[in-house]
């Protein structure tokens, strides 16, 4: 089973405050069962490849519908697995 690590950044963002697009993105991956790690420059999830891909799809839709102007996504194979 392949494990993926995905990091996404939702814009616009305001330093020190999570706006509606960011909150919608985090909620979307949380609803899929992930425990996202929210950092200063992005949010990270780890898990089974298929689950990560499905969560990212929902996250993209949720963020854009909530007013995101841009979503940047990076996905890496988790070499620790």
- CATH number for 65: 3.30.70.930
Rounded to two decimals, what is the model's pTM? 0.90
6-54 pLDDT, tens digit per residue, is 999 999 977 778 899 999 999 999 999 999 999 988 999 999 999 999 9
7 has which bridge partners?
44, 74
Domain that holds residue 65: 3-77
Listed as own residue / partner, the contacts of 14-20 with beta carbons closer than 8 Å and 24 or more positions apart are 19/67, 20/66, 20/67
What total of structural domains would you count in the chain?
1
């Amino acid at each position: 089973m392949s494990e993926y690590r995905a990091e996404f950044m939702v814009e616009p963002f305001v330093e020190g405050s999570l706006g509606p697009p960011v909150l919608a993105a985090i909620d979307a991956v949380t609803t899929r069962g992930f425990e996202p790690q929210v950092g200063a420059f992005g949010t990270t999830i780890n898990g089974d490849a298929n689950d990560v891909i499905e969560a990212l799809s929902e996250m993209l839709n949720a963020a854009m519908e909530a007013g995101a102007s841009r979503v940047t996504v990076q996905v890496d194979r988790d070499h620790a697995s």
